Amino acid sequence: MLPKRNFSRTARTLALLATLCTATPSLAQSYFKDDFSWGYNSGIWNARSGNNGSPFGCDFQPSMITPSSHGITLGVNSGQCAELRTKSLLPYGRIQGALKTGNAPGTVSSIFTYTSWYDVPGRPWQEIDIEFLPTLGNVVHTNIIYQPQGGTYESWEQDIDLGQFGLNITQDLVNIGFNWQSGRIDWFVYDAWGNYQTIRTVYRDNGDGYIASNEIPQYAWPSDPTRLMINHWHGDNSQQALYFPGEYFWQNTWAYYDYIEYAPH
């Protein structure tokens, strides 16, 4: 497990979705699967434009999203990157996708949920992460983040080696996701032989006065409807970025997403 990231929590929170509308968005509860045939479904997704500020070293640009007959590529170059986020907020559900990434240190490609006071005034920052950082090697970085507005940042991070499942994120199309429920979250992959494998499980604390290593305090449990997001970006080589996502060497790189699927509970 990585230690808590040592860059400014407030800056990252503000940076992550600085352009989110503060008006209460619509709540979608229906199943969708976007296989990104000749681009993304504009009824589901918004393409981000703008800069998140340090430690992000790039502007999110819709032009960095490249369509194909099946799947999209989110590009990264020196100063430009790409992000999609759902227009609607989603309740508990199963989220999965398939992706393959380049191998440029200092970059991140991800599938994650995010909501905060940008969506609803007074709402805490809540996030569930799947992230791939070439700086860390052939692992998936899993995380839950919680921070009340103006309060203390907390995270529960764990890195999981994909090699034990016969997978390599830079060579294989990795089918991965998480099942987000009111009392537990299961991250999973389909291994090289097509078998479903649970790779991490965390539980909502049951209130018995003891919080185990695989439990999240009740107050921090991600429970509010949330946006689903995918992005690919590079750090700015500041002190914060050198810790996460690592040093960036000005390489052009890519992350290919074959599909994203959401099924509500």
Beta-bridge mates of residue 140: 160
Give the model confidence (pLDDT) of 11-27 as tens digits.
444 444 444 443 445 55
The pLDDT of residue 24 is 45
Judge if pTM exceeds 0.95: no
Total domain count for the chain?
Answer: 1
Q: With respect to residue 61, please indicate whether it lies within any of the assigned structural domains.
A: yes
Give which of 102, 27, 48, 79 is closest to 230, Cα–Cα: 48
Q: With respect to residue 1, please indicate whether it lies within any of the assigned structural domains.
A: no
Q: With respect to residue 4, please indicate whether it lies within any of the assigned structural domains.
A: no
Give the model confidence (pLDDT) of 86-102 as tens digits.
999 999 999 999 999 99
Give the model confidence (pLDDT) of 150-159 as tens digits.
999 999 999 9
| Pairing between β-strand 174-180 and β-strand 154-161 as defined by DSSP bridges | unpaired
3-state secondary structure the chain: CCCCCCCCHHHHHHHHCCCCCCCCCCECCCCEEECCECCCCCCCEEECCEECCCCECCEECHHHEEEECCCEEEEEECCEEEEEEECCEECCEEEEEEEEECCCCCEEEEEEEEECCCCCCCCCEEEEEEEECHHHCCEEEEEEEEECCCCCCEEEEEEEECHHHCCCCCCCCEEEEEEECCCEEEEEEECCCCCEEEEEEEEECCCCCCCCCCEECHHHCCCCCEEEEEEEEEECCCHHHHHCCCCCCCCCEEEEEEEEEEEEC
Say what percent of the chain tops pLDDT 70.
Answer: 89
The pLDDT of residue 27 is 56
The pLDDT of residue 9 is 41
Q: With respect to residue 182, please indicate whether it lies within any of the assigned structural domains.
A: yes
Question: Residue 35 maps to which CATH number?
Answer: 2.60.120.200
Q: With respect to residue 228, please indicate whether it lies within any of the assigned structural domains.
A: yes
Give the model confidence (pLDDT) of 90-140 as tens digits.
999 999 999 999 999 999 999 999 999 999 999 999 999 999 999 999 999
The residues, any chain, with a CB within 8 Å of residue 142's CB and separated by 6 or more, are 129, 130, 131, 157, 158, 159, 160, 178, 187, 199, 200
Q: Using 50, 70 and 90 to split pLDDT, how confident is the model at 171?
A: very high
Q: Using 50, 70 and 90 to split pLDDT, how confident is the model at 10?
A: very low
Give the model confidence (pLDDT) of 211-254 as tens digits.
999 999 999 999 999 999 999 999 999 999 999 999 999 999 99
Instruction: Give dist(CA 30, CA 44) in Å, integer.
Output: 11
State both tokens at 223.
């429970």
- Residue 151's domain spans which residues? 9-264
Q: With respect to residue 2, please indicate whether it lies within any of the assigned structural domains.
A: no
Q: With respect to residue 189, please indicate whether it lies within any of the assigned structural domains.
A: yes
Q: With respect to residue 183, please indicate whether it lies within any of the assigned structural domains.
A: yes
Q: Using 50, 70 and 90 to split pLDDT, how confident is the model at 28?
A: low
